[in-house]
Each structure stands twice: as C-alpha cells, then as structure tokens.
Chain A
Amino acid sequence: MFARGIKRKCFDGEEDIEGTLAGFKAIPSYNLKRQSLLDMSLIKLQLCHMLVEPNLCRSVLIANTARQIQEEMTQDGTWQVINAQNTGQASLDQLASSDILCRSTKEQSDGKLIPSYSSFSKDFEDIQSQDIISDLSTVTSVQASRNPQGNVWEMENSPENRGNFQKSLDQIFGTLENKNPNSVEDLFSDVDNSYYDLDTVLTGTMSNTKMGHCDVLESFSSQTTTNSNINELDHIILHF
C-alpha cells in the first residue's frame, strides 16, 4: 500500500500520500489486486517482445486489460493527478501526461517513454499533428500539446524522436508499411538511435535489437519500469 502511493507520486508531498491511504482503507484488497494486475500487465507488455516478435493478439489483450483497469481507476478517483502544472482538467490525457512527466524526470535519456503513453489514450485524436510525422500523426504529438508544461518535454521530443515514436508504435504491432518515404528514413534513423536508448533504458534486462517494441508498451502510467522501482513492483505483486 505504501509503496503504491510513493511510486505513483513524484512531485506531491506527504499530504497526498496520506490521503491516498485513507482511501485505501475502504477496500484495500480490491485496489491492491487491481493495482497488481495493472503492474503485471505493464510488465508483460514490456517483456513480451524482448526476444522475438510479439504476439499481436496477446499484446492487444493485455493492453486492453490495462486500459480497462486504468479507466476504472480513473472513475474511482484513485488515479491521482500529480502534475501541479496541470490546467485542472481531469481528462485521461491530462492524467497520462502528468504521469509521463513524472517518469520523464527519472529517465531523461529516454524520450520514447513519453509519447508511448499516448498509444493507449483515446483522447489524443484531436491533438494537432506535426508535419514531420506522416499520416500517423494523430498518434501524436502528445508532446506538442504538452509544450507549455515544461521543458522536459521539449528536450526529449525532437522532431526526429517524434518520428521515432510513430515508427516504434507501429513496430510494436509488427508493421513496416510506410508509404511515406520520409517515414522510411525515420525508420532507419530510428534503428541507430534506439540502440543507445535501449541500452540505457533496459539495463539489467534482456534486450534485443528491436527498439520500439519495449518502449511503446511501457505506456500507461504509474508503473515505471526503471530498476529502482522493480523492487516496489515485486513488493506489490507479492501482496497479491
């Protein structure tokens, strides 16, 4: 329980954690179970394509499960809004971005984590597209809309990286159908960049040459994949 509160919040002070605990006392086991399930789902998504091409059906089912949990948590109000710079809306994408923001401060070298969240949010459709990105641009530039939220986004989200994100998202689902020649170039440029990022992000875990896969599915949120939180995750899961 405690670990959950700590893990989720990056910026908040003590009062938020206490508030969370109060909410937990009502039905601790259900929330814990749900959280563990979410943790498990996210880990599965990340690890599922470490070695081989991911099973698309399995990935989609796990992603849907994780999304379902997140939506329920949002409705419950147990999904905490962390970002102080938030405009105040409680919409899904805002929550998402704040989590990503939270995470991005810890993993500065990996810009891919940030946009990857957007893959599971349906609210990103209306976000303005970037010229650099091809028709897949609806995926967005969550980054673009988040510009006012801080420099953290900017430095991670060079146009090239955004292109990378798109391609990495696509690669998660195994497609390389790029009709746009620019995107093909992005694709190849991806390969070079990803190597570095993969190494830095996935230290301590098995990895392969497929960069995008792991990144995209990290998604969702509070469940970080950094090594520093692995212990906490284990702690949670064991409780379950």
Chain B
Amino acid sequence: MGEDADTRKINHSFLRDHSYVTEGNTPVVLPHPPAQGVSACPDALGRYYLLDAEWVDSTFFWSLNRSSPKNFTPYLALVENMEGESIFEVDSEDGVGADIISTVEFNHTGELLATGDKGGRVVIFQREPESKNEPHSQGEYNVYSTFQSHEPEFDYLKSLEIEEKINKIKWLPQQNAAHSLLSTNDKTIKLWKVTERDKRPEGYNLKDEEGKLKDLSTVTSLQVPVLKPMDLMVEVSPRRIFANGHTYHINSISVNSDCETYMSADDLRINLWHLAITDRSFNIVDIKPANMEDLTEVITASEFHPHHCNLFVYSSSKGSLRLCDMRASALCDKHSKLFEEPEDPSNRSFFSEIISSVSDVKFSHSGRFMLTRDYLTVKVWDLNMETKPIETYQVHDYLRSKLCSLYENDCIFDKFECAWNGSDSVIMTGAYNNFFRMFDRNTKRDVTLEASRESSKPRAILKPRRVCVGGKRRKDDISVDSLDFTKKILHTAWHPAENIIAIAATNNLYIFQDKVNSEMH
C-alpha cells in the first residue's frame, strides 16, 4: 500500500500544481493551450448534438508498466518542440502482453473508473474534483489504487492453467463510504472492497509511534489517543471469493438491481449468487446438451435488467437474445422472450453464423432497449418487439468482403463491446485500427474516431476519421487494406452521466471528454 500512497501523492501534485512530473525530471509548468473553438451549435431547442462536439483527449493515457507491477507510469516524456516550447511527447515504447487491458468499467456515479488487464491486475482511477482554482484540471482521472486481483492458477485435474486475465469488472452500487467491485477471471469471481484511510490514531499509551511496546516504567501519565490526519491511503481487500461455480469460462457478470444478488455466465451456464454467500450458487440457465457432441450454441453475454430484478437477458453465438423471468421457474431454460432477426438470404455465406454471434449485450439506462454487438453491426432492440431490432448500425461493413481472410487470421472471432451514453441517445463501439465509432440515434449520424498516440496529444481535439472503400479517396482517409487488425478496440465505457468515455486500446487507456458539453443533453 505504501507504493500506492506514493503514486497517489505524485498524482495529486500532478494537477494541483499544474505541473507534470516525469521520472527524474524537475517539475515543469506547461502553458495551457487556448481552448479550441466550438463547432457545435445548439439547435432550436437549445440542445447540442453530441457528434458536433469535439472530443478532446483530456487526460493522459496510462500504460501499465510491467517492470513495476504494482505501479504504473505515464508514458510521457518532456521534450522541446520546434518552437522551443516544452511539450509532452508520447513514449514510443510498446507495452507487453500482460498489460493488455481486458475490461473497462465506470462506477455508478462515474467518479471511479476501473480497468482490468491480462496480468490479473486492476487499476482504479478517480476523477479529480473540478476546482475553481484550476479550471484547466477539468476533472481529470488519476490513479486511485492498483491491486493484483487474480493470480494464475493451475487446475491439476485437467492439467490446465487458469488464466488470471480479468474478464469483467462490475461495480456494486455504493452503500457506504467504501466502494465495492466484483472482478472475475475465467473461473473465480472476487468481491473487493475499496476503502480510504485518511486519519490514524496517535498517542497510544502502551506502544510508541512505530508500534513497539513501550517500557512501562517510562509511562508516567495517561493520554487519550486522538485521530490525526494522515496522507490518504487507499486500501483494497478481498471480501468474498466465489469459486468453483463454473466449469467453463466466465464471460459476464452482472449485479442485480436488488443489490443483493448477481449472476455470472459462462459458455453454457448462468449462476445466481448472493453477494454474502460464497459456498453455493443457483444455476438459473443451463444450455449444456446431454450429449456434448450436440453442442452448437453457447452463451456469449448476459446482463440483468437495470430496474426489474427478475429479468435478465443472455445472448448466444447464433445471434439470438433470450429474455428470462426468474419468477417463471427456478431454471430459466425456457425464455420469456426470444429476440432473433431472421437471416438475410441475400447476404448469406458460410460466415453468416459467425458474424451473427452476439459479442456483447447491454440494457439501456431506461431499461426499455437492448444494445447488441455482432461482428459487423450494432443493433438496438425494443424489449417489446422480438421479431427484429428497431435500429441497425453498420460498424465496418467494408469488412464484409474480407470475411474469409478475417476467418483465417481469427479476427472474425474478436469480441467487441458496446456502450450507451447516459441518456441512451448515442451508442458507441470499437473497431480495428484503433478506431471507435459513435452513432447518434436521434440524428442518425455517426462518427469514427481514433485512439492513438500519434494522433492525439494531450488536450488535442480528435479528428473524425474515414475509411475509404475504393472510389474517391479524400486526404487522411485510410484504405481498407491498410487497416491494422492487431489494433482493436474491444473494450469501451461511457460515463453514466457525462460525455466522458474510456477507450482501451491494447495496453493503453484513453479517456476522452467533450470539452464544451460536459453535461448530457
């Protein structure tokens, strides 16, 4: 914890003094670039359309540094540019495999942002409160705590190593001063409690400052220990370990709106747990066939309804969604509603099934809609209509003619996530080449942005990107053939209330915010 405290200290001075510390360098004050002009204009009703706004890289991306596993350093170096100004330049060093971010999740207020990586670590960022003294700080995110959530394990019975990669993190609604989150790898879910300590008792009678027992002969008077402020320390402790519930790999966890239970889903089963009970769980969905050779469909994602504690949805590899009601029966193998879009015969190919496999499903904040992501599209479903989605957005349709190559290099199995904004008006998902896409449901407009070091300096405004598919090609367009398929944005998250997004690009975390329109409209 001492390391964490140190990190936190540095980060505090980071913004408070409006100076930036790199390893070994003396603090330097940077001139703040002038605010960019706003291109967004309100409409007749005074609303700003999100996609007109400019997304700004408002904080530095953090790369997890493998050499100091409990710590991480910003990959920024202070250099002088051509005009003699001191600017930040990104370090070109690439991270290693264990630092690949595998999940990103805001908590319910958006104050905290948790990331999990392939090495089993969790890093929690906290948003600095906007202070009037430094209007430029803009509520940026800094490291709050890091801890090792899962370790690699070895299953001796199967002779298999269980990866420590964090598959999902879900925050529990905050009920007291502490924050709690669930993190899971392939097999085990853990409940972590994050607490702050900023006071410590001083003035013990029987022991001295270091905790050693005092020589009683030296004690001449009694004192009452008092609480004195201390440097803020963030402590994370494992409160529950939910193990041995899954034979297959866990792909989702979801906390129920009742705040007492949660579910975990693997490829073939979904279990319901009580947050306080670790030695048993209820199996609520089981699609394992009696004969494993008949297996043709697996569960790919699942989520509880945000308001109705009895409803949950799970998606399958065949592109169907099943809404289940736990009141109907103990085992929810029979769905209450089946959401499935009939296959388009004109687009049929050998890959139709694979690209229809749903990689992520998310309820809207309102609870009225569901968002699903399959390989080429994102779809919005109305819970009241099972026959087809109400909206379908093409994420990267230019890949449709390249499915065979993507099958060959396994990219066709990539599982992209999707996200709603706080008002359910915009949806976001990732793509290749470090691109991510946003779709405005109201205006039907969309934008492609890139999360990369080269194109985003701190506080730089993101420029919309375009992929050209032959034909006319504008300047700065990327052609389909020059897309980098190793740079994929699988994990994205949207602040629950504001226009702040977190994008995980391999081992880098980007946090972008809409500088002008911070509030949701």
Contacts and interface: CB of A to CB of B under 8 A. Distances in A.
Nearest to B251: A57
Most buried by A among B157, B293, B354, B408: B293
Contact of A40 (B249, B268, B288, B408): B408
B161 interface: yes
A138 B293 CA distance: 9
- Interface secondary structure of B, over-half rule: loop
Contact of A60 (B160, B249, B297): B297
Contacts of B296: 60, 63-64
A85 interface: no
Interface residues of B, number: 34
B259 interface: no
Contact of B353 (A44, A61, A120, A208): A61
A232 B300 CA distance: 36
A52 B330 CA distance: 34
Interface stretch (A148-156, A167-175, A220-228): A167-175
Contacts of A61: 317, 353-354, 357, 413
Nearest to A208: B159
B358 to A, nearest CB: 11
Interface in A26-53: 33-34, 37, 40, 44, 52-53
A183 to B, nearest CB: 13
Interface in B172-218: none
B267 interface: yes
Contact of B298 (A60, A124, A209): A60
Given A169-B293, A171-B158, A60 B317 contact: yes
Contacts of B158: 53, 171, 174, 176, 210
15 contacts: A52-B163, A57-B251, A60-B295, A64-B353, A65-B351, A69-B350, A119-B293, A139-B291, A139-B293, A171-B158, A172-B292, A173-B248, A173-B295, A174-B249, A175-B288
A58 interface: yes
A175 B293 contact: no
Nearest to B404: A37
Contacts of B249: 53, 55-56, 174
A118 B295 contact: no
Interface size range of chain A in the complex: 35 or more
Nearest to B186: A53
B291 A136 contact: yes
A177 interface: yes
A169 B356 CA distance: 26
B236 to A, nearest CB: 29
Contact of B350 (A65, A136, A172): A65
Interface string B343-354: 000000011011
B247 interface: yes
A71 to B, nearest CB: 11
A122 interface: yes
Nearest to A122: B294
A42 to B, nearest CB: 13
B290 interface: yes
B247 A176 contact: yes
B404 to A, nearest CB: 7
A210 B155 CA distance: 12
Given A64-B353, A138-B291, A173-B295, A210 B159 contact: yes
A126 to B, nearest CB: 12
A84 B153 CA distance: 51
Interface in A64-97: 64-65, 68-69
Nearest to A237: B408
A92 to B, nearest CB: 13
A125 B291 CA distance: 9
A119 B296 CA distance: 11
Contacts of B160: 52-53, 210
Contacts of B268: 56, 173
A169 B248 CA distance: 15
Contacts of A65: 350-351, 353-354, 407
A184 to B, nearest CB: 10
List 10 A-B pairs, minimum CB-CB distance, nearest first. Answer: A119-B293, A56-B267, A209-B159, A53-B160, A57-B298, A58-B413, A61-B354, A138-B291, A139-B293, A173-B292
B350 A68 contact: yes
Interface string A118-159: 111010110000000001101100000000000000000000
